[in-house]
Each structure stands twice: as structure tokens, then as C-alpha cells.
Copies of this chain bind each other. A is one copy, B any other.
Amino acid sequence: MKTGFCKDTYCDASRIKIPVDSIGLNRGYAAFDFMKVVKSQPFYTERHLDRFFRTMSLLRIEIPFSREEVNSIIQELAQKNTDNYYGLKFFAVPVETAGSEYFPSDLYITPVKIPVHPDEIFTQGISLMTKEYARFLPEAKSTNYMPSILWGNELKKYHAFEILYCFNQQVLETSRSNIFIVSKNHVYTPGTNVLKGITRSIVIDLLHEKQIPFTEKQVSTSELFAADEVFITGTTKEIMPVVKIDGKTIGNGKVGPVSTPLIEAYQKLIR
């Protein structure tokens, strides 16, 4: 049995269900987060709590738990579930949306498997395909993934691994990760109109640690295609080097000298 958390109690995770006409399903409205647990240790809990509570604030969602209480629930789940490496999905789902400024909401947390990616992905790199799209309220991590699911079947057709959202010639984020570009040994990532990922923040820490010049700034699509290296970051994706976008080769088409040590440094954190 995997242990989850349902409203106010720990429970068999497979039994966590919500009514089909819940606001979470009927109106596609819920706060979401996803964090890893590595060898019984929740990974970067504080940053995930920062983001989850920020998302709830942006969506005006209110759960009956303080940040400290949610932290305790996470610690408890990490003890109760004994897998070596898994994820915790967080949902805060409004019970009603009429009346008050904040929506009283239920908290659900459920453990899930994390896909293991083959080594080639990290040594040979992946391809992206672009779509002209900007997410609604991008700073909030919500359950609103419709375009990502809808366009998912094009990935196979175009031999791409992920969809990169661009809007008005600006690079934003992929459907489930952040993007960095490397140009003349300087690293850049968009800092507005994106969801700021936890892995993104860890990569920024690593860049500072390694004294690699880094700037958060708007990145144009022409800068993207002219980059020496590109990589994406996410909780399940870790740091994935990108060698092709829309069929065009990035840099020399190989995983580059800035990306490689970052990928290795990140993997050390989780293995």
C-alpha cells in the first residue's frame, strides 16, 4: 500500500477520489505541485512549499493547514512510503467558489512513480518542437495542462521530446519544464511569464557555485536558434540537453561543455 493524504487523514493512496463534478474536474481549477522524495528525504521541501503556497495565493485557494503543518505531512509521508525514489503530487481543490474572496479547499497528496529516462537522453540530447502559446497565469502551478496533452501526439510525429512555448518571438517555457540557453559561455533563462521551477532554481544555484555567468532575461527565438547550447529543467526531467529544435540543430548538435558538468552536478544531488 502507498500512503497518501486525503483532506485531513493519511490513507491508502489508491483510494483518494473526488466527486466527478468537483470544481477541480468540472472547472479545471486546482493548485498543483510535484516534488521528489529521494531515499526517504523530501527534496527541496521549502522551495516546493514556497511555490505551492504562492500558487494557492494566486488562485485564491485556501487549505485548512499552515505551511508548517503541510511540511509535517510531507515528512510523515516520506516516512510511511518506503520506495527509494518517487514523487508526491499535491492538489488543493476548491470545495466552493461562490461567496468569499478565498475558496475553501481540500488538500490531497498522492505518491507516484517517477519515470526513469535512458542515459542517452542525457548524453546525446533531445529534440523540442515549438508552439505559439503562452499559458494563462503562468506563475501559478495549476492543473491546466490542456494544450500540453492535446499537442502531445505531435511529439512522436516530429520526433520531439517536449513542446516549447514561444509567444511573439519570445521564448517562454516548455509544457512541463524551464529552458536555459548558453551563448558564449553565458547562461540565460526567461524570468517573466513562466512558471519558475524548483529544478530551475537549483540550476541557478549550481551556476553561481560554478561561477558561470548567468542572467535572467527575455530570450528571443532568434537567440534560441543561435545558441551554443540549450537545456531544459524539471523535477522528472532533471537537466536535459537539447540538440535540436523544430528540426534545426542547436550549436554543433552535441551536448555542450556548459551543460555536461551541470547535468552531472544535478545527478549527484539525487543519486
Contacts and interface: CB of A to CB of B under 8 A. Distances in A.
Interface of A: 6, 14, 16-30, 32, 59-60, 89, 91, 93-94, 97-98, 101, 108, 110, 112, 133, 136-137, 142-150, 152-153
A16 B18 contact: no
A17 B26 CA distance: 12
B101 A23 contact: no
A25 B22 contact: yes
A148 B108 CA distance: 24
Contacts of A26: 32, 89, 91, 143, 145
Given A137-B150, A146-B28, A150-B60, A16 B16 contact: no
27 contacts: A14-B19, A16-B20, A17-B18, A20-B24, A20-B91, A20-B93, A21-B110, A21-B112, A22-B25, A25-B30, A25-B143, A26-B32, A26-B143, A26-B145, A27-B148, A27-B149, A28-B28, A28-B142, A28-B145, A29-B149, A60-B153, A98-B152, A133-B136, A136-B136, A136-B146, A137-B150, A144-B146
Main secondary structure of the interface of A (DSSP, over half): mixed
B28 A108 contact: no
A23 B144 CA distance: 11
